[in-house]
Amino acid sequence: MDTSQRLPASLTPLDAALGVLLRDRGPVAPVELPLAEALRCIAAEMPPLAAHPPHDIAASDGFAFRSSDLVGASSYSPLPLAAAPRWVEAGDAIPGGCDCVLDSDSVDQSGPLAQVLAEAIPGQGVRRAGADIAAGSFVTEPGRRVVARDLMIARAAGTEMLRVRRPRLRIVNIPGGTVTADLIAESARAAGADVACVTAASRDAASIAGAFDGPPCDLLLTVGGSGVGRTDATVTALAERGEVLSHGIALQPGRTSAVGRIGTTPVVALPGAPDQAFAAWWTLALPVLDRFSGRRPRKTLNLPLARKIASAVGIAEIVLLEQKQGVWITLAVGELSLEAIAHAEAWLAVPADAEGFAAGTAVDAYIMLRE
């Protein structure tokens, strides 16, 4: 008897499949991580920072003065000093009573008395308290991705740990899909997930089901074996261990994707081909990961299309785009080459109820980060 996987007669709409995955899902609990580990994670609530610098400091090497004492000083009318001027290095605290710093060329020390050769205004050569970090500010805002510039602020403020959300993602690679599994794992790490990867011992349902076992995770992804080939058994394995909610998504590429759950853990079965897996990753898995991360909505850019996009009604089609001279140039529609994926700057999904977009139509496309 033929026990191979089969797609249903009708495909599940993309929005319906995603809705099932997101239902009753909220952000995971925050964790505190060292700065290097927090990079690319999504920030949670953070304590306010103290002012930095905490007091006025010298912005450059020079002599510290009170500006009101230097009124009228110039190279034509030098101001003799009764006492030796006070030298400060960049970063030193400004001495009490001083409010400016003059460079060494503005002070003549060749004679028996030092002479000032220039006036100054209050704050000249000085970095005021809180000029770099205002008191009560934050390393970054909750829901934002932690980037290298945020770590600069944290280090300057003396912060060693950051409070972030980092969902646990387990990826089960079905033999034969290593290139795709690596692509998804690297994309997930870039999105701030704590990624664990395992490869099933074989492509049969029992081996795949055994690979589902492991430490608890927030989201489980499988890569490969979701189609209707004679050696495809991922959906069968999912049915044995949990529940298949939808197999066959109205998505091009990626129609053999499936969604389900094992216990309370959501599962997304991605096809093994890179373009199909990446399409399902963008539209199904990444939104779930963003929900667990508490991430703010991803950035889109609204630009007109340089030419028409034609799409079949009844299925959501992925479009890859690049920006040129203020318009979107279409790189691929529905069929995505690896080169198009590598060079795309943004993507969008043509809704299943649309036949595409006319040339000149302004569309919102999701920006693909290259960090």
Residue where one domain finishes, among candidates 293, 310, 326? 293
Residue 328 contacts residue 303 (beta carbons within 8 Å)? yes
23 and 65 housed in the same domain:
no
Same domain, 271 and 330: no
pLDDT band of residue 369 (cuts 50, 70, 90) is confident
Residues 79-117 have pLDDT tens digits of: 999 999 999 999 999 999 999 999 999 999 998 899 999
pLDDT digits (tens, 9 = 90+) for 204-252: 999 999 999 999 999 999 999 999 988 899 999 999 999 999 999 999 9
| Of 235, 233, 336, the residue nearest 277 (C-alpha) | 336
Q: How distant is the alpha carbon of residue 355 from its chain centre? A: 32
CATH label of the domain that carries residue 19: 3.40.980.10
| Domain limit, last residue, from 127, 150, 176 | 127
Both 279 and 306 in a single domain? Answer: no
**Same domain membership, residue 312 and residue 224:** no
Length of the chain: 371
Is beta strand 219-223 parallel, antiparallel or unpaired with respect to 243-247? unpaired
Q: Are strands 62-65 and 86-88 parallel, antiparallel or unpaired?
A: antiparallel
Higher pLDDT pick, 5 / 137:
137
Question: Are the CB atoms for 229 and 311 separated by under 8 Å?
Answer: no
Cβ count within 10 A of residue 1: 2
Alpha helices per DSSP H over the chain: 14-22, 35-38, 148-156, 178-190, 205-211, 234-241, 274-280, 286-293, 338-343
Instruction: Calculate the average pLDDT of the chain.
Output: 95
pLDDT at residue 4 is higher than 80: no
- Res. 75: pLDDT tops 90: yes
What is the average pLDDT across 296-315?
94
Four-residue CA torsion sign, 240, 243, 248, 252: negative
Nearest partner of 366 among 306, 278, 294, judged by Cα:
278
In this structure, is residue 35 part of a structural domain? no
- Considering the domain boundaries, does residue 5 fall inside one? no
Are residues 216 and 171 located together in one domain of the fold? Answer: yes
For residues 75 and 111, membership in a common domain is answered with yes
Tens-place pLDDT, residues 7-55: 888 999 999 999 999 999 999 999 999 999 999 999 999 999 999 999 9
Q: Residue 64 in 3-state DSSP?
A: strand
Mean pLDDT value of segment 275-299: 96
Q: Whole-angstrom Cα distance, residue 307 to residue 327? A: 9
Q: What's the pLDDT at 155?
A: 96
**Crossing angle of the two packed helices 286-293 and 14-22, in degrees rounded to 10:** 30
Q: What is the dihedral of CA 62, 67, 71, 76, to 10 degrees?
A: 10
Give the SS3 label for residue 344. Answer: coil
For residue 370, pLDDT beyond 70:
no
Pairing of strands 219-223, 168-173: parallel
- Does position 1 have pLDDT exceeding 80, yes or no? no
The total of structural domains in the chain comes to: 3
Torsion of CA 273, 278, 281, 284, to 10 degrees: -80
The verdict on residue 91 lying in a domain is yes
* Co-location of 175 and 288 in the same domain: yes
pLDDT surpassing 70 at residue 284? yes
Residue 96 structural domain: 57-127
Contact 18, 283 (CB under 8 A): yes
Residue % of the chain over a pLDDT of 90: 93
Domain membership of residue 363 (yes or no) is yes
- Residue with more model confidence, 257 or 2: 257
3-class DSSP assignment, residue 330: strand
What is the band of 3 on the pLDDT scale with cuts at 50, 70, 90? low
Residue 43 lies in a domain: no
Same domain, 221 and 289: yes
